[in-house]
A and B are shown apart, each in its own frame.
Chain A
Amino acid sequence: MQWKKKKFSNSIRYAIFIYFTVTALVAIILIGVSLYSRFSSQLSTTIEEERESRVGQASRSLDTYLQSIMKLSDSIYYGVIKNSDLLGNSISREITLLYDNNKDNIKNIALLRKDGKLLEAVPDARLKTNLNVTEEEWFQDTLGKAENIHFSTPHVQYIFDNNENQYCWVISMSRAVEITEGPFTTQGVLLIDIRYSSLKQLLSEVALGVGGYLYLVGGKGELIYHPRAQLIDTGLEEEDTMHMAAYRDGTYKGKISGKEKVVNIKSVGYTGWKLIGVTPSARISLNSLKTRLFVIFIMALFLFLISAINAYISSKITNPIKELEKSVNILESGNLEAPVYIGGSEDIRHLGTSIKNMASQIQILMNDIVKEHESKRKSEFDTLQSQINPHFLYNTLDIIVWMVENEKKAEAVKVVMALARFFRISLSKGKSTITVGDELEHVRSYLMIQQMRYKNKFDFVIEAPEDVRQLASLKLMLQPIVENAIYHGMEFMDGDGEIRIRVRRGGDSLYFAISDNGLGMTKEEVDRLFSDERHLPSERGSGIGVKNVNERIKLYFGERYGLFIESELDEGTTVFLHLPAVSYCETIKREEE
């Protein structure tokens, strides 16, 4: 699993995918964040401007509203009062006309002489009996600053006797006027009570979004209108009107009552009032959780699409490399004839062609090596053939002559036949392999001849079940081993020597065991037989050593197979040969191929 993971994380495709995706992610984040910031600030600016414009519009409306009241007072003063002699004349009708046109906004119009006497009141009303208006601050201020028009803060109208079940909040506008009464001109006060409800309606209609509100303060910070004026008065709410009144017109941002807010301030003409719009900052930005999540969703969606495209592109690039890698793996496992993938881009195709050529070249070289090896082996066999000791042949022929001279014709015939069989099998039409039966027959012939030569100094036994006789064996494999047993094991025996050859099959393997009861060998002597150390052939031996037989077996059948020796001094030696149990026919077929 760990190996798989490592392989996955190290693959070219993975690297390409990661590089592309990380690059895309960085780009998406940069673009996303910058666009979000830009849109957010743009939106905030737009909303702020829109709020500012609404506050400005409200200010203009209020301005117009107050202008209309002031125009009304001008009309009453210049159009009615100035042109009338109030001594014995009533101007009630003229004022009523003007009042009727404005009665939605105006509660009362009253004209008071400077001594406090009510000259006219529309609608008709009388002053409260226990009230002396000359003692009222607003009355004194109006006469004191006769050139100004005075606006009060909202208050309950209290100077007139009213319906007991009602009270009315008003803003009083007062101005000093000249009153003509016969030949005399005197000062008076024109009082216009503006309905607070009309002002409230005008300002409450201005919407500043959720959480936003508009309020109106006087020049000294006194509250004129506030949607929650009543709660502010009871202390349940707070509004820093004094502080705000000190600001100039404009837009300000800051903490109000612990919350970030945007404040638009606009002065109202003539009165010195200030209209203040308050909007929570959170409401004029894109900073809602859902909007943020949506931006993240869009970025993630783009990343998803780009990742999918990246995965496709990286696959497109690396698939030919993978295919080529598969081909190389097959080549690496030894199958040089496997087809090599050639595809993909020009570079990969070129690489594929190169690998293909290289594999062909390796194949050629391998074939050369095999051929060379084969020829070497052949020459070894040839050498073996040619090395059959002439002395062995001479002695054998001498025995035959001796037997013929002593009338031992039957034995002579036997030896001649054994010799003939021995040479026939040695030749075997030049093949490398023969059947186990032939190999045993060959060694039996050899042993018979040697037994006669050595005057029955030893006995030999060959044990082989029938089912192994048709299996394949290397030619001249046993003879060198038996030769060694005779020359090195039996030579010094005195008639009780024994050579035993056993063959058995074990599953897919074929085992030969050649044992003698000769002198045996030390472990060092055994090891030396397998070493590269040059050991000269015995004077009478074939010269083909144990090592040679072992190498031939391995060369022909593979590294799994070969020869090993068990030997003990004065006890004897057993040589084991391990071959695959394959039929001779198959071997011949393979050899022919």
Chain B
Amino acid sequence: MVKQERRLFVIYGLALVVLYLVSSTDLFIKEKKVEIYPVSVIVEDTKDEYYQNFRRGVDQAAKEYHVDTTFITLDDCNSERQQLEVLYRELSDGAKAVVMVPVKAGNLLPALEDIKAVAAVVLYGSLEGGEKISASIFSMDYSVAGKKLGEAFVRQNGTDCLVYFFTEGLEYQSNLLFYQGIMEVLEPLGYRAELFTKNSEDTFGDVMEQVVYPGSEKMAVIALDSRSLSTVADILKKSSVYRESVTGLYGIGSTLSILNALDTDMITGTVVCNQYLAGYRTIQKAVEAIRKGNIQERVSLESFYIERKDLRDKQYEKMLYPME
């Protein structure tokens, strides 16, 4: 065997070894490893009642994208300080991404800007100054939602109807935008409106007690947030007198209690968005941000105005009552 031939055989032998390693081991072509991403979902509430559907979407996405989610509520509702504490705790515990429903935008933005180098950030809900932060923001266009509700209100109520707005506060940007959206429709038509902000647990009950009495002027209530809507629905449920005086209760949100109240005509109409889809997409985006880095993006979620008759509508049924 000549030297050249021997060399060729050695090269061929080496090529065979390489081919074997490529075809039968993980040295060159690695089998797709399932990477589990730890993602924390931090909401601003003390309960997850308002996020049931959102959570189902989160769970579905977590299953598909191999995400280990931790759903965290606060001990004190709307506590910015506590939300920040939880945020830093989750990051130190190894969360690779954070999906947040921020309490208020203001003080949170610098902190979010700080952490985006170590973790992906996805926000859900309205956030003023959101354009300043490199993060995906999922939010309903509250102004548009307000207009939709205002238009529905106008269709059902004349201008003689007094409008009472109940809210937890207009310092929350979502409430403010929603309010402005409604007023954009009502104000030009000459509707009279009054705004009541929740100061204590009894604020709305006291207001109702004072303004609603037999033979009083026709009035309608518009709640500017889910919690206010639930509270007012509960108040109306307690007394038939209130129901006689209040021509309609409108609001925003799609918790089960709100939907049940809608089904029993306690609530006239509510503006909803697909929270299941929001939950799914925030996790989807969080995984994308973990893989590729934070992207500044604002995703607007479509809003729908629904009434009792719509509950059985196939278009809304799965959206409002996600399948288990």
B-binding residues in A (CB < 8 A): 8, 128-130, 154-156, 158, 164-167, 169, 196-197, 200, 228-231, 233-234, 236, 289-291, 293-294, 296-297, 300-301, 304, 307-308, 311, 315
> Can you give 16 contacting A-B residue pairs, CB < 8 Å?
A8-B2, A158-B312, A229-B323, A230-B57, A230-B318, A234-B274, A234-B319, A236-B277, A236-B280, A293-B19, A293-B29, A296-B23, A297-B19, A297-B20, A300-B16, A308-B9
* Contact between chains at A233 and B4 (CB < 8 Å): no
Q: In the bound complex, do residue B318 and residue A307 qualify as a contact, i.e. CB atoms below 8 Å apart?
A: no
B280, A231: Cβ atoms under 8 Å? yes
Within 8 Å CB of B311, what residues of A?
158
Contact between B323 and A294, CB atoms less than 8 A apart: no
Complex CA–CA separation, A197 to B16 (angstroms): 54
Smallest Cβ distance from A243 to chain B, in angstroms?
Answer: 19
What residues on A are CB-neighbors of B247 within 8 Å? none
Q: Is B319 touching A169 in the complex (CB atoms < 8 A)?
A: no
Q: Which of B285-316 contact A (CB under 8 A)?
A: 311-312
Contacts of A289 in B (CB 8 A): 29
Interface membership of B107, Cβ < 8 A: no
Report chain A residues within 8 Å CB of B56.
Answer: 230
CA distance A155 to B29 in the complex (A): 47
Residue of B nearest to A301 (CB): B16
B51 CB → nearest A CB, Å: 14
A308-B13 Cα distance, complex, nearest whole Å: 11
Closest to A229 in B: B323
Q: Does B117 contact A (CB under 8 A)?
A: no
Closest CB in chain B relative to A7 CB, distance in Å: 10
What A residues does B23 contact at CB under 8 A? Answer: 290-291, 293-294, 296-297
In the bound complex, CA of A196 to CA of B324 (Å): 9
Q: Which of B236-264 contact A (CB under 8 A)?
A: 256-257, 260, 263-264
Cα-based distance from A167 to B5 in the complex (angstroms): 79
Chain A residues whose C-beta falls within 8 Å of the C-beta of B29 in the assembled complex: 289-290, 293
Residues of B near A128 (CB, < 8 A) are 263-264
- Number of residues of chain B lying within 8 A (CB) of chain A: 37
Is there contact, CB below 8 Å, between A307 and B323? no
Taking a contact as CB atoms under 8 Å apart, the answer to whether B323 and A154 are in contact is yes
A165, B15: Cβ atoms under 8 Å? no
For B57, the chain A residues whose CB sits under 8 A away are: 230
How long is the Cα–Cα vector from A416 to B52 in the complex, in angstroms? 152
- Which residues of the other chain, B, contact A166 by a CB distance below 8 angstroms? 256
Q: Flag if A169 contacts B257 (CB, 8 Å).
A: no
- Does chain A have a CB within 8 A of B71? no
| Complex CA distance for A112 and B118, rounded to whole angstroms | 61
Q: Which of B84-132 contact A (CB under 8 A)?
A: none
CB of B322 within 8 A of chain A?
Answer: yes
What residues on A are CB-neighbors of B317 within 8 Å? 155-156
The smallest C-beta distance from A316 to any residue of chain B, in angstroms, reads 11
Q: Would you give the shortest CB distance from A538 to chain B, in whole angstroms? A: 67
| B321 contacts A by Cβ under 8 Å | yes
The answer to whether A311 touches B324, judged by C-beta atoms less than 8 angstroms apart, is no
Given A130-B265, A197-B324, A234-B319, the answer on whether A311 and B277 have CB atoms closer than 8 Å is no
Task: From the candidates A164, A230, A304, A308, name the one contacting B323 in the complex (CB within 8 A).
Answer: A230
Tell me the chain B residues, 1-37 only, with Cβ under 8 Å from chain A: 1-2, 4-5, 9, 12-13, 15-16, 19-20, 22-24, 29
- Indicate whether B276 reaches chain A with its CB closer than 8 angstroms: yes
Once the chains bind, are A8 and B321 in contact (CB under 8 Å)?
no
Cross-chain contact A230 with B60 (CB below 8 angstroms): yes
Please, how many angstroms separate the alpha-carbon atoms of A290 and B30 in the complex?
10
Query: How far is B52's CA from A73's CA once the two chains are assembled, in angstroms?
Result: 35
Known: A158-B263, A164-B257, A297-B16. A234 touches B277 (CB 8 A): yes
A304-B20 in contact given A169-B321, A236-B280 (Cβ < 8 Å): no
Q: Inside 8 A of A169's CB, which chain B residues have their CB?
A: 321, 323-324
Known: A158-B263, A164-B260, A231-B280. 19 other contacts (CB 8 A): A155-B317, A158-B312, A164-B256, A165-B257, A167-B256, A169-B324, A229-B318, A229-B323, A230-B57, A230-B60, A230-B276, A230-B323, A293-B19, A294-B24, A297-B23, A297-B24, A304-B12, A311-B1, A311-B9
Residues of B with C-beta under 8 A to A196: 323-324
Query: Which listed residue (A154, A231, A300, A308) contacts B15, Cβ 8 A?
Result: A300
Interface contact A311-B5, CB-CB below 8 Å:
yes
Contacts A155-B317, A156-B321, A231-B60 given; does A296 touch B264 at CB 8 Å:
no
Q: How far is the CB of B1 from chain A (nearest CB, A)?
A: 6
CA distance A167 to B324 in the complex (A): 10
Complex Cα gap A519–B203 (Å): 157
Q: How far is the CA of A154 from the CA of B56 in the complex (A)?
A: 18
Chain A residues within 8 Å of B20, by CB: 297
Encode B171-190 as 1/0 by CB contact (under 8 A) with A: 00000000000000000000
Please indicate the chain B residues that have their CB under 8 angstroms from the CB of A291 in the complex: 23
What's the minimum C-beta distance from A125 to chain B, rounded to whole angstroms?
15
For A308, list chain B residues within 8 Å (CB): 9
Q: 8 closest Cβ contacts across the A-B interface?
A: A293-B23, A294-B23, A233-B318, A297-B19, A156-B321, A234-B277, A164-B260, A297-B23
Cα A63 to Cα B153 with chains together (Å): 49
Name which of A8, A128, A231, A291 has the most chain B CB atoms within 10 A of its CB. A231
B9 x A307 contact (CB < 8 A): yes
CA distance A172 to B261 in the complex (A): 24
Alpha-carbon distance between A300 and B15 when the two chains are bound, in angstroms: 9
Question: How far apart are the CA atoms of A154 and B312 in the complex, in Å?
Answer: 12
Tell me the minimal C-beta distance from B275 to chain A in angstroms: 11
Name the distance in Å between A286's Cβ and chain B's nearest Cβ.
Answer: 13
Using CB atoms, name the residue of chain A closest to B315. A233
Q: Quick one: closest B residue to A157, CB to CB?
A: B321
Assembly CA distance A446 to B257 (angstroms): 153
Taking the nearest CB of chain B, how far is it from the CB of A44, in angstroms?
21
Q: Which residues of chain A are within 8 angstroms of B256 by Cβ–Cβ distance? A: 164-167
Nearest chain B CB to A193 CB, angstrom units: 15
Residues of A within 8 A of B276 (CB): 230, 234
Q: Is the CB of B264 within 8 A of A130?
A: yes
In whole Å, how far is A136's beta carbon from the nearest beta carbon of chain B? 9
Complex: how many Å from CA A128 to CA B265? Answer: 12
Contact A167 B321 (CB under 8 A): yes
Say how far B311's CB is from chain A's closest CB, in angstroms. Answer: 7
Q: Which residue of B lies closest to A153 (CB)?
A: B314
B29 — nearest CB in chain A belongs to which residue?
A290
Asked if B324 and A200 make an inter-chain contact with CB atoms under 8 angstroms apart, the answer reads yes
Q: Which residue on chain B has the smallest CB distance to residue A295?
A: B23
Chain B nearest CB: distance from A21 CB in Å?
11
Q: Which residue of A lies closest to B20 (CB)?
A: A297
Chain B residues near A293 (CB-CB < 8 A):
19, 22-23, 29
Q: Tell me the smallest distance from the CB of A160 to a CB of chain B, in Å.
A: 12
Minimal Cβ-Cβ distance residue in B for A298: B23
Residues from chain B with Cβ under 8 Å of A154 in the complex: 323
Closest residue of A by beta carbon distance from B4: A8
Let me know if A307 and B1 touch, CB within 8 A.
no
How far, in Å, is B249 (CB) from chain A's closest CB?
16
Q: How far is the CA of A206 from the CA of B56 in the complex (A)?
A: 23
Residues in B with CB closer than 8 Å to A130 are 264-265
Q: Answer whether A233 and B319 are a contact pair too, CB < 8 Å, given A130-B265, A296-B23, A300-B19.
A: yes
Q: How far is the CA of A234 from the CA of B301 in the complex (A)?
A: 12
Minimum Cβ distance to chain B for residue A196 (Å): 7
CA distance A368 to B257 in the complex (A): 131
With A297-B23, A300-B15 already in contact, the answer to whether A315 and B1 are too (CB < 8 A) is: yes
Residue of A nearest to B278 (CB): A234
Cα–Cα, bound, A297→B263 (Å): 68
Shortest Cβ distance from residue B107 to the other chain A in the assembled complex, whole angstroms: 34
| Minimal beta-carbon separation of A78 from chain B (angstroms) | 32
Nearest-neighbor residue (CB-CB) of B281 within chain A: A236
Within the complex, what minimum Cβ distance (angstroms) separates B277 from chain A?
Answer: 5
